[in-house]
Structure formats: C-alpha cells, structure tokens
Chains A and B, each alone.
Chain A
C-alpha cells in the first residue's frame, strides 16, 4: 500500500474500498440463496410454482442476512472505537459490560417466564435492551463521579467490574433455574440469529446502527488523534471529554440494540478491526469504512455457514466467528510480519 505521492495513496485506498464494497455486495446477494433448501433467483419476485420458496426467501433468509450484516457492522465498528478510545488492542464492544447487562436482562426474563410482545419485539429482547441501557447508565454514573471528568481508566474498570458482577448474577440465575430455562439462558448467551423471522427486528435495530455509524464517521479525525493519546489530542484542539462521551453513548446504544436481538456474538468486535488494520493501517478515515463493510460481510458468511454446515441442525454463530476468524487472523499476521497486538 506504500506509494510515492500522497495522491496515489488516496487512489490506492479508493481501489481497496471499491474491492471491499464489491465483496460485501456479492456476499449479501449470494447468502440468501445458499442453504439447505436451494432457492432459485425467480423466487425474489415470487415467480415460482410453490409459494414456500418465496416465503423462505422473504420471511427467513433475507431478514436474517440483513440482521447479520447490521450486527457484524455494529460490533466491528464499536470494537474499533473502543480499541482506539482506550488505546487497548484487547478492548471489545463488550468490554464496558453492555453484553452482560443485556444477558442479565434476558436471563431475568427467562427465569420469571415473562412473555409479551410490544410493537412486535419479544419480551426477552426488551428486557435484554433494558439491561444494556441500565449498564450504560451505571457505567456513566460511576465514571462521571470521578474528579477529572470521565477518565478512561475509571470507565474501563467500572465496565469490567460491572461485567463480572452481572456474569455472576447470570450464573446464579442459571443455578437456581430448572433445566429447560437454564438451557435457554445458556443458548441466549451464546448468541445467534436463528430467532430472526420477518423484518421487525431488522427495522428495530436499523436506526441504532445508522445513528451509531454516523457518529463514528463524523468523529474519524478525533479517533485518529485519540489513538495518539488524550493529552496530545487535546492540544491539537479535540474536545476530548465531549468526544469520548458521544462515542461511548452512540456505540454502546448500538451494541445494546444488536445484543438485545442477537445475543452477545463474540469475536467479530475484537478481531474484525485488527484484521482491517493489517490491511489498510490505522488511519480511521480509511479504517472505519473498511471495518464497517468487512464486519458485516464476515458475520453474514459465518451465519450462512452456521446454518448449513451441520444441517438440518444449526450451529450458534458465535462458535463459528472464532473458528473461522482466528486462523484467518493468524495467517494474516504471519503473512504481513507485523507486530502482534499493535494498533
């Protein structure tokens, strides 16, 4: 990617972006037609002899692929943001406890057998989202009490402490629960997209992902400078406190919405940003669109494999993300011979 003049750099990135865009579009177009039941393209406009094929396509496959793309995009983007904000390559979208908050919400709902629907959203998703929001508010409240405003270290520690606390509560609920409910909780915590039927959930998550992504896109210059250190960023004119809070709320809400529907799907948020950094470097003006596209496409691929590889049963997609992504990342790391764990 190294080239002589800066202009060529921009053009080179244009090609990379085009490639990723094409790749993402191909994946999105291919994934709905791939599966146990192979479906002809004609089903798109309902021009088939049996209506089951069209139903599978429009009620199951396409919503599920859309959801996978949104979830992958949101998780990868928030992983990228937290890694830059905390200057820590091990930060993930779940570092600040959003996923354990959501999981606790879901576990409580399962334990007490709440079953209702509000605007087509299930009770489990609603209480999971409630748990996520409660965690966000809690982490912020603890951080804001600090003397020096929202200190990054305090935020990180508060998030991790709350995360462990909630995880213990989930284990406790599982322990006192009966076998079937305990299994439902366990299955929820693994994450997955098999619950997606029709477009309700997609439309519910969509605004959160769009809003979160826009905030991140708006703040790419700031993310670059935050990576060099908060003091340095401040002296270059960045309003560090305001930027951090904006990123924290936008990204956490986005993750909360995704986790409420899909459960905590691991690995994408940790590894997708690192994979993209190996490919295009750490300049967030470039890194953000690539991570956004790659995260979405990656989760769509993983989910497609998850629902076909041991058909007719499904694999939880969280298992596959690590199984496919881990070796891929290691290969990339060895092929590029770059420093391990560097931003």
Chain B
C-alpha cells in the first residue's frame, strides 16, 4: 500500500471531491479518504444544484476546470434559469438532479482522474511536526504521509442527529459520525464551535395526489451549467408546489413539547434563511401557510423530497402533519426529517488560501468552515485543492478577488468576518454582483485557470472565440445603420416606436423591448453572423451592449476601492505599536491578519477611523 502522497483529502462530499480532482489535475498525487465509498458525493439534503447566487458559483467552478458543473449537467432531471425577468446579474441556473446518478457520475469522474487514490477509513488524527502537517492517522491505525492535508468533514465531526426526543450519533441518516478529530485539533489550539442544520422527510411519490398541487415545469429550452456544452438528459421531470395550512400548523404544535429545538437539546445555531417548519410557524405566527416544493429524487425512483418542510419533530407528528397538506393525504413516509448538530471550526482561523494559520499545509473546506450548501462546499474544496497543490510546489497562494468572482467573495467573507450561523451565498453579499454573472464566469476565470494548468486548451479556445465573436457583433451594431423600411414593421410588432430616418442598430438595441434576434430579422448580414454562433455568445453581446452604462459604473466602483484592495499589509505589521487603534481593532487585526487594507476594512470592529490610522501609518 502506497502511504506517501502530496495531498490527502479527508471526506468525499462536494468539497472533498472537487479538492481531490483539482489537486490531482494540477499534478499532485492525491489520496481521498472517506468513511464509506458507497456514498461519494452524496446530496445529503435537497436533490438540486445551483439557484440564485449558487448557480453562479457552479458556473465559476466549471469555468476553471472543476467538475461540479459537468456532473450536474449529466444528472439533471429538470433545468430552470431563475430570475429571467430580472437583469442579467440575477439570472441563475438551477437543476433538479437524480441523486443516485449525481453520486455515480462523481465517483466515475474521480475514478477516471489520474493521480487519485481512494481509501475507506475514518481519519482520527492529523500528524503535525514543527507546526506543519505531515500526514494523517486513521481509525484502523494506519498512517499516511502527505505534504498537505485538506479536511472536508462536513457534518460528520461529532455529528448528533435529533428526531423528536430521540438522539443518536451520526454524520447523515444511517451513517456513523466521525469522532476524535475535533478533540485532537482542539489540542493543537484550534477553536471549535457547534452548528445545526436540518432536512425534511422523504416520501413515496406513488402515495401523493399531484392533481391537488401546482405543477412547476422546467424550461422549454433547458440550459446547462458547464461551458463544455454537455447535453443534459432528454427526459425531464416536473416539480410540484403545495402549501401548509393552519390545520398542519396545529398538528405540528402538538409536537412542540417534544421538539429538540424548543426544549433546548440542540445548542448549535441553525441558518435563519433555511428554518425548520416548526421555526417558521413559531417565528412568523401571522402567516397561515407556507410553501412546499415537491421534488423528485431521481428519474426512476419514486422517492420525493419535501422541500420547505425541514423538521426535527417526532416522526409520528411529521407524518400526521404531512397528511393535512393538500395532495399528501395518503402520503407514505420513507424517512423522517431530522436535525443534525456538528462541529465546525470558525473560519477566521484560516488565511485567504484556506490554509490554517496555526498549522502549515493544513487546509479546511466546506461545512467544517461553517458554510452550508453543496455549491459553497464545492468551491471551497476546489480552491483548497488548488492551494494545497501550490503549497506542495512552492507556488504563491491563489486568491480570487471579490470583484472577480463569488468564490472570492465567499472566501473573503469567511476568513475576514467569520460566521455565526451556517453561511450561504446570496447575490447581495457580492458588492459587484453586476460583474459576477453566470454568462461571463468563463471570461472572468478561464484564462487564470488555464495559466495554472487546470483548464484545458479547448476551454480557453472557446473563451477567446466568445470574446472575438462578441466584439464582432458589438462593432457591427455600433457601425451599421438601418433604414426605417427594413425595421419599422418589426418595431411595431414589438410595441415600440417606429423610426423616421435611419439609425445605428445599437440605438434600437438599447430599447428594452428589442433583442438582437429582432434586429437580425431586419438585417440579413446580422442574421448570418448570429446564425453561426452559439446562443450564449449572442446573449453575451446583448448584455454588454444593453447594460453598458451600468456595467461601466460598476467597473468605476471597483476602481475606486482598488487602492485599498491592492495595499498589501506586511504580515509582520506591528498593530500593537499603534496606540491610536482601538483595542478591539487591534485584537481583530492580530487575529485575522488581513492581507490587504481592503480586507482589513471588512473586519467587524475595525472602523473607518482605524483604517485611516492604518493608512497613515503604512504611508509613513
């Protein structure tokens, strides 16, 4: 058995899988250790990828050569582009996935990645020598050596599952918790905390009456996540929408006295934006109904995920309450919902490359850092994989800016501000969200990934083609005028004013009612140009022209803060020597060790006045 690796990845969830793939594809020898090889890349919660802000993250991972987008596309059973009615920064791809197919595709992808070895075991210790990680020890008593270790333990560290008054150790339903590692990390000086999350019951689709629910179909022309243009499966499924009612709420209340949440048995903080159904009833008592999404778990399976009904109430109450929901009168339950408490490590203990400040070459990624969501986990794993490899090869850390990616926003938020509740990405977390769109993730990131050897030539060629074709269209629209005779009928059809004399095509495109394809109907040359390129390129050109003024303003704002973002603080900077810094600021700055003045300005407790003080001192 080979026992010496460049990078060891502990855990094979969304973070672990991306980490292993990224490090291996960059050339590291990787060992992926998981407690159960049967459940690699399990979707522990809902069978879906993407959504608002999260879809953008998957696109970013894909643009850099990660696997999440490809796997999602291969296992999609419904695709929707959310927020189509809003501006392009809000368009967010979301897919329902076949849970089993998703996991299988991930496993096959990893098996086919050279440089990835697997080992089924529980890691109970990281081996540290002179402040540097050198390997791991497992429950079976085996030691593996490595130059770098990435921990992606998810909800498994001292995981405790709660259902009503029952409670038992576990990392997921029917899976053992991981023990020992938290305590060892604490003995090394790491600070650990407790978080909570939950999941709804799964039911038998054959027992539901869909006639009483609202059907929610996928897009007529489904898109996809990967820039590799992977075809998604032809066969698609619908989701359904139904609602709870006061009767449901009354039944649920019967179980409140046995609720682990309300009885205080659960100490960890759960996400406010993903509350359990009992929490919703309790906190928003004035609402007499809550929305339930009925989501298929796969193309063939009859198992159904009851989205919106996360609960840790006793299983008898869960079933009784489900029966009061329209369409669920005869529902058979497969598995009850549950809450899970687990250990996490406040992410302010990490540097921007996701390496711990305490132990060199030790990386944390995913839920262990206090995040929630497959996409959030995947992108951390991906970045940790890249940086673990770069540490092995003595290359400088790879850090994405907030103005160039959601991934950069996520890591910067975690490391700089930490998080008290499970952290989920929102578009509102990104101050430059107009620039961080799902349509341009490749333009933003592929070149960088290509330069480090992660994205292949075909990806880069596609980006360059996209840039060239887009520029061509823009140039044409700016130069070409169109006569009233050629376009007026089209304008009338689109309910916008006719033109009295010829105007530049771009002026017409600026009208909200008009799209590039409308103009093409009046200009044969444009039609030919558009016929020969993917619809995504057309979209790109359209966005660039239609929203030019807003995009320019956003770029200007990025420029304004550039000074702060680029002002690097010496890692040995002596904050304590500056008495005019507030005590709180000094403490926080010492703890976080911000890389730049910009990062320092985002630390809570560091005021604009403190930043002025720092700036004055740094300029001296």
Partners in one complex: no
B-to-A contact residues, CB < 8 Å: none
A-to-B contact residues, CB < 8 Å: none
